[in-house]
Amino acid sequence: MIDWTPHTARAKDWFESLRDRICAEFEAIEREAGSDAGFEYIGWDRQEAGNENPGGGVRGVMKGKVFEKVGVNVSTVSGQFSPEFARTIHGADENPGFTATGISLVAHMTNPHVPAVHMNTRFLTTGKAWFGGGADLNPPIPYEEDTEEFHARFRAACAAHNPTYYERFKKWADEYFFIPHRNVARGVGGIFYDHLECADDPEWDRNFAFTKDVGEAFLDVFPRIVRKRMGQEWTPAEKEAQLEWRGRYVEFNLVYDRGTLFGLKTGGNIDAILMSLPPEVKWS
């Protein structure tokens, strides 16, 4: 059986380096807007009875002029799933022990013309080992050209690895980021993948390379869209529409999001888990 510990360490290092570059780019955008806002980094340690190395993470949050609130979290944790929760996790029926490392990002923007965004990538081991992740765009005021630019960049990232990835993972995102009780999509989609299994080192290398390219695609395309829209003027009615739209985002994350449930069920940091929630929101 493969010891995935070195692989977890490599993935952790990559997620941390991606975080550093994303945060630097977002701070650069704030400087361009005349703001001196920066990220505040807060470490946290996970607790689990009988576990000498449960892990933890770092929560990075910035509240600025362009980014009303953006959180970028990196965590690496290990432990045991509860028997009930283990039945819902890929491979955990074989082994309730787990390790997980990943990066998770949610940005809520001040200007309603600038789309909110979500991105995460992760590597998990249970009785199996696999990668998952993706990114999706969530504009209160959709622009077709922004949607196409976002999808085109991820289409290219997918095509470099497997000609079937984009259509498969786009469809998965469309189905996953849907709010059944509202009968609406959370946004304009992107890609979502999970259980990209690794049976040996070559397969791990291939899946890790793809996961890294997902992160690179995000870092390339999202700042371009922000810079294009952040100077647009908006009306009070457009701001009001943004605040009501955020309510749909909140409903999805609290009712359906797997990452939220995973964090809550594995003793994660509450502030890090709920960093996806916007600072201001309204329901009609």
Residues tagged active-site? 118
The CA distance from 71 to 61, in Å, is: 4
Tell me the residue type at 212: K
Tokens standing for 143? 């622009």
Q: Give the CB-side neighbour count of residue 143, counting CA atoms within 13 A.
A: 14
φ and ψ at residue 65, rounded to 5 degrees = -85, -40
φ and ψ at residue 124, rounded to 5 degrees = -125, 150
For residue 161, the Cα-to-chain-centroid distance in whole angstroms is 21
| Residue of 104, 110, 46 lying closest to 80 (CA atoms) | 46
H/E stretch holding 191: strand 189-197
Quick one: CA dihedral 84, 89, 90, 94, positive or negative? negative
Other Cβ atoms within 10 Å of 95 Cβ, number: 15
Collapsing DSSP to helix, strand or coil, 38 comes out as: coil
H/E stretch holding 259: helix 258-265
The CA distance from 137 to 127, in Å, is: 33
> Could you give the C-alpha distances from 173 to 79, 188, 208, in angstroms and in order?
29, 9, 20
Collapsing DSSP to helix, strand or coil, 72 comes out as: strand
